[in-house]
Amino acid sequence: MLKKIEGGVCAAKGFTASGIHCGIRKNKTKRDLALIYSEKKASAAAVYTTNLVKGAPLTVTKNNIADGKAQAVICNSGNANTCNANGLEIAYQTCELLAKELKIDAKDVVVASTGVIGQPLDITPIASGIPQLVKELGNNSDHACEGIMTTDVCKKEIAFEFTVGGKVCHIGGIAKGSGMIHPNMATMLVFVTTDCNVSSKALENALQADVQNSFNMISIDGDTSTNDMVTVLANGMAGNEELTEDSPDYATFCKALNAVTTYLCRCIARDGEGATKLLECKVSGAKDEKTAKTVAKSVICSSLFKAAMFGADANWGRVLCAIGYSGADVDVNLVDVVFRSAKGEIVVCEKGAGVDFSEEKAKEILLENEIEILISLHSGEGSATAWGCDLTYDYVKINGDYRT
């Protein structure tokens, strides 16, 4: 049984964290360097962006955790360290400097960056900040969370307690993500820690499977970033027998991991740049899961539909339109659509056609800050959920002067 707890990435035994302002960002009130540290070397797994243009830290991290092990995560905000001539050098230097301070192997460091692409990054502020970063290690998940934020309005962190083999385990995560969010991995930076004992291979397989139904089902603006990464560290300090894919409790761990990732998905979608509403599209009755996913993502990605939600306009035709061009094998004459929120629910489409409904009631429902779009395809047992947000005037304002 899962129990929500406090602590974020520090909820698991043996993990500490910190976050400071080192000088990468001009605003001295904003933390721009974060650290997560495990007192024991941990199993490690990661998933990376599918963008062909990748930040230097991703290359370095992929090399470092090729053995399935890591002990620390360092991440800067304010500069993506992407498309820089010396990007790899900076990323490797960061690992070496941190490793020296922590007295660990540089190859056991996960390094990440987020911020402006193509802007030169100087190692000086990172080098000067690392001693303080290490000195401030403690129960500071919230500080680490702040240190990885860019245009995020709110911190994104969560933790759960669960039991494996009679041992109490903990899992927690922090995330950043507000813009340049689009399906097909990984669409943000996410760092997850657990004290559950999980083999590197099992951890990798659990993460790869999980992202298909979590982070690959979010869209904010249709842009896939260059620095996206989801990383999980499992240090085994809960004391359970090592989990493999064949272990009876492997499914329990996967469920706990999914609880963390799903929560963070909703946080990221809710905090989309300029967003005022979280949109959750639930598709049921598809001929298979693939069809359901295609439909759900098409609706969530529709700029016209997102704009309608901003205006609390029950323009269900935009839902049908998005389904129609999704490429999914759907009989549009069987489609039902319902809008639901804390104010109730309303049927707006049945069997692919409009029905009489109260525009006033629909507007009341759509004025809430969390909206569910329920789509029934009546063609099978497949289902899927995707998350997104409305499209507002502020999205253009935020991205119109992002560099300046």
Give the domain ranges of the chain.
Answer: 3-270, 278-400
Q: Look-up: residue for tokens 């990323």?
A: 91
pTM, 2 dp: 0.87
The two tokens of residue 62 are: 């992929």
309, 371 contact by CB (below 8 A): yes
User: What contacts 353, CB < 8 A, 6 or more positions away?
Assistant: none
Residue 187 falls in the annotated catalytic set: yes
Q: Closest by alpha carbon to 288, among 184, 377, 185?
A: 377
What pLDDT is recorded for position 180? Answer: 46
Pick left, alpha or beta for residue 351 (phi over 0 → left; psi -120 to 50 → alpha; otherwise beta).
left
Pick left, alpha or beta for residue 305 (phi over 0 → left; psi -120 to 50 → alpha; otherwise beta).
alpha
Q: Cα separation of 378 and 216, whole Å?
A: 24
pLDDT tens, position by position, for the chain (404 residues)?
Answer: 899 999 999 999 999 999 999 999 888 889 999 999 999 999 999 999 877 777 899 999 999 999 999 999 999 999 989 888 899 999 999 999 999 999 999 999 999 998 888 888 999 999 999 999 999 999 999 999 999 998 787 899 999 999 999 999 999 999 997 544 444 544 479 999 999 999 999 999 999 999 999 988 887 655 566 778 899 999 999 999 999 999 999 999 999 999 999 999 998 888 766 788 999 999 999 999 999 999 999 999 999 999 999 999 999 999 999 999 999 999 999 999 999 999 999 999 999 999 999 999 999 999 999 999 999 999 999 999 999 988 888 777 766 665 55
279, 389 contact by CB (below 8 A): yes
The yes or no reply on domain 3-270 and CATH 3.60.70.12 is yes
What pLDDT is recorded for position 10? Answer: 98
Tell me which of 16, 94, 150, 187 is the catalytic residue: 187
CATH superfamily of 278-400: ArgJ beta chain, C-terminal domain (3.10.20.340)
Residue 101: helix, strand or coil by DSSP? Answer: helix
User: What contacts 161, CB < 8 A, 6 or more positions away?
Assistant: 2, 3, 4, 5, 11, 168, 169, 170
What pLDDT is recorded for position 110? Answer: 98
